[in-house]
Amino acid sequence: MSDERRDVSYARDETARKVFAVLGIPPEELAYTMASYSRSRRSFLESNRYITGQKAANFLETFYFAYGHRSIADMAHIPLAIENISILAAIEVVAEQLWDGQERSTRYQDFTVTGYCVPQEIQEGTLQNEYVAAADALFAAYEKVSAAVYQYYLDTVEKPESMEEKDFARTLRARAFDVGRYCLPLATHTSVGQITSARTLERQISRLLASPFGEVRRVAEAMREAGRAPARNPRDERLLELLEELGDDAAALGALREALQPVAAAPTLVKYTAPDIYRIETLKIMREVYEGLLGKVPVGVTEAVTLVEVDDPAVEALSKLLYTVGRHPFSQIVLHVQTLSRPEIRELLEMAFQERGQHDEWLPEFRVGYLNFDVVMDIGAFRDLHRHRRCQKYRQPFSTHLGFDEPEAVALAGAETVYREAMKQAFAVSEKIEAAQPPLGAYILPLGTRCRALFSMDWAELAYIAELRTRPSGHFSYRRIAYEMYQKAIRFYPDMAPYVRAVDPAYEDLTER
């Protein structure tokens, strides 16, 4: 090779830069384009020009499934509309950390319009009539309580001078729904809109397929089918309608019609989804461990919010696994696990990993080293707080054993009798169904039912939740929970207190939005 140096410059000025958005490429073709783009010198549009759905499928079969290049599916984002499912199913659907979406709001929607779900298994059993009667009573209470509280607010809340009458009425109606929602059963129909990567969707479907609830498994199957079936494209559908109206050129219409044929969102990336067997089998094992360790131990009483810190990551992870299948407070479970010897702890760890397959990730209970808040709250408040993506959530099964909450406004509005009667009827029917067809008793539980859940987070996420969820515009229930979390934490770490802009829930302004 010659030693003579070539006079070559590699410099480029800023005029070479291009930044543009891209729309209209099917998700799997987009993932293939991005992957190809990262492996060649061609521009994005040049990379995409020769990519077809079949080429994308072949590529994904090889590099995603065979070679395990999982990040490829992060570049295929899929919007899904999931309509007319129960709130119980919706809680499971949205329980993904890498998830973006919205569920119907109980504050701004009247849920009598959509009604409630009667699960297929309850229709096939002997308790359908009692279930329907209890659900109807809850919906009747929802209407009466919402109306009574709305009137109470109109009579007692002063309208700010700067606020329009219609805005004032709309705000107070929303606040009344905040109280009325306590009567809505978990069977209430709702809808969810989500946008996730195909990788998250695959994991989400596998998790939902492992649910003990038949409806949730059927929702997962429908989500998988939605990824494989032709996707809806409202713009193309409208364009086809216009083309039919505008011309009679058969050849041109045929070519356009072919170009506008519906395309499946992710037929390749979702076709191998299967139930999360690792989690199913591990929770079976942990239920046996829980019964042996804590099955005969009385359930302790705790405050609404308890901060529990654990120094040993193995103890924390195992305690979280046992918490998920049990009823005891987290602090009580931790104390029992801490009494085990190191060989016993290692044996439990072996059990927690023995069913792990080649492609299974560690279970989320092994995300440790956080501030752990064990919280007892109404299901409605849990539904609001569990949407926070930067913290880990571990919920115990919904049941009647913690009782139900009653907002102060119910009695002030004179609606306590109808409220309590509907709650007690729902609890009685739930226990009867749970005894005959577990775990279906959860469907008839109203959102005012207390539940227990563990929230694990770092300080930045705690500050975010405290600042966002204690604002006067928020729901009174989660305002109290968020403020108590903040208060418990600053007792241990007072140096952080001045930097968190939390609002004491004692301050209330029902006209704030």
CA–CA dist 115, 132 (Å, integer):
11
CA–CA dist 205, 342 (Å, integer):
36
Q: Which residue pairs, CB below 8 angstroms and at least 24 apart, start in 57-64? A: 57/28, 57/267, 57/268, 59/32, 59/35, 60/28, 60/31, 60/32, 60/268, 60/269, 61/268, 63/35, 64/268, 64/269
pLDDT tens for 251-267 read: 666 666 666 667 777 78
**In this predicted structure, what is the pLDDT of residue 444?**
98
Q: Over range 461-474, report the average pLDDT.
A: 95
pLDDT surpassing 80 at residue 378: yes
24: left (phi > 0), else alpha (psi -120 to 50), else beta? Answer: left
Helix, strand or coil for residue 197? Answer: strand
Q: Are 413 and 432 in contact (CB under 8 A)?
A: no
Per the model's pLDDT, the better-predicted residue between 505 and 231 turns out to be 505
CA distances from 306 to 338, 369, 453, 475 (A): 18, 16, 11, 21
Q: What is the DSSP letter of 404?
A: B
The HSE-up count of residue 97 (CA atoms within 13 Å, CB side) is: 10
CA–CA dist 481, 377 (Å, integer):
8
User: Locate tokens 């046996």: which residue?
Assistant: 288
Helix, strand or coil for residue 318? Answer: helix
Question: 277-404+448-499: which CATH architecture?
Answer: 2-Layer Sandwich (3.30)
User: What is the residue type of 7?
Assistant: D
Q: Over range 373-378, report the average pLDDT.
A: 97
pLDDT tens for 238-294 read: 676 766 666 666 666 666 666 666 777 778 878 888 999 999 999 999 999 999 999
**In this predicted structure, what is the pLDDT of residue 259?**
62
User: Locate tokens 């490829």: which residue?
Assistant: 72
Between CA 382 and CA 389, with CA 386 as vertex, the angle to 5 degrees is 165
pLDDT surpassing 80 at residue 69: no
**In this predicted structure, what is the pLDDT of residue 247?**
62
Sheet of 305-308, strand order: 305-308, 371-378, 450-457, 392-395
Between CA 398 and CA 345, with CA 451 as vertex, the angle to 5 degrees is 85
Q: Are 496 and 458 in contact (CB under 8 A)?
A: no
pLDDT tens for 169-215 read: 999 999 999 999 999 999 999 999 999 998 899 999 999 999 999 99
Which pLDDT band, with edges at 50, 70 and 90, does 65 fall under? low
**In this predicted structure, what is the pLDDT of residue 40?**
76
Q: Are 188 and 444 in contact (CB under 8 A)?
A: no
Q: Are 264 and 270 in contact (CB under 8 A)?
A: no
User: Locate tokens 């009782």: which residue?
Assistant: 403
Nearest to 401 by CA among 328, 314, 295: 328
pLDDT surpassing 90 at residue 46: no
**In this predicted structure, what is the pLDDT of residue 178?**
96
pLDDT surpassing 60 at residue 3: no
pLDDT surpassing 80 at residue 15: no
pLDDT surpassing 80 at residue 50: no
**In this predicted structure, what is the pLDDT of residue 504?**
96
pLDDT surpassing 90 at residue 57: no
pLDDT surpassing 60 at residue 2: no
Neighbours of 304 (CB within 10 A): 13
Q: Residue 452's beta-bridge partner residues?
A: 376
Structure tokens at 21: 């958005």
pLDDT tens for 343-374 read: 999 999 999 999 999 889 999 999 999 999 99
**In this predicted structure, what is the pLDDT of residue 250?**
64
Helix, strand or coil for residue 376? Answer: strand
What are the boundaries of each domain within the chain? 24-75, 277-404+448-499
pLDDT surpassing 90 at residue 456: yes
Q: What is the DSSP string of 422-474?
A: HHHHHHHHHHHHHHHSTTGGGGG-BTTBEEEEEEEE-HHHHHHHHHHHTSTTS
Residues with Cβ within 8 Å of residue 106, at least 6 apart in sequence? 177, 178, 181, 184, 380, 447
Q: Are 157 and 412 in contact (CB under 8 A)?
A: no
Nearest to 510 by CA among 152, 12, 224: 152
Per the model's pLDDT, the better-predicted residue between 240 and 316 turns out to be 316
**In this predicted structure, what is the pLDDT of residue 284?**
96
CA–CA dist 399, 442 (Å, integer):
6
**In this predicted structure, what is the pLDDT of residue 58?**
82
Structure tokens at 480: 């109290």
Per the model's pLDDT, the better-predicted residue between 16 and 30 turns out to be 30
Tell me the average pLDDT of the chain.
90
Query: For the whole model, what pTM was predicted?
Result: 0.88
pLDDT tens for 92-146 read: 999 998 899 999 999 988 999 989 999 999 999 999 999 999 999 999 999 999 9
Helix, strand or coil for residue 84? Answer: strand
Q: Are 74 and 34 in contact (CB under 8 A)?
A: no
CA distances from 155 to 38, 85, 408, 513 (A): 64, 36, 16, 19
**In this predicted structure, what is the pLDDT of residue 4?**
58
Q: How far is CA 285 from the centre of its chain?
A: 25
pLDDT tens for 323-338 read: 999 999 999 999 999 9
Q: How far is CA 165 from the centre of its chain?
A: 36
Q: Over range 155-169, report the average pLDDT.
A: 94
pLDDT surpassing 60 at residue 1: no
Which pLDDT band, with edges at 50, 70 and 90, does 37 fall under? confident
**In this predicted structure, what is the pLDDT of residue 258?**
65
**In this predicted structure, what is the pLDDT of residue 66?**
65
Which pLDDT band, with edges at 50, 70 and 90, does 82 fall under? very high
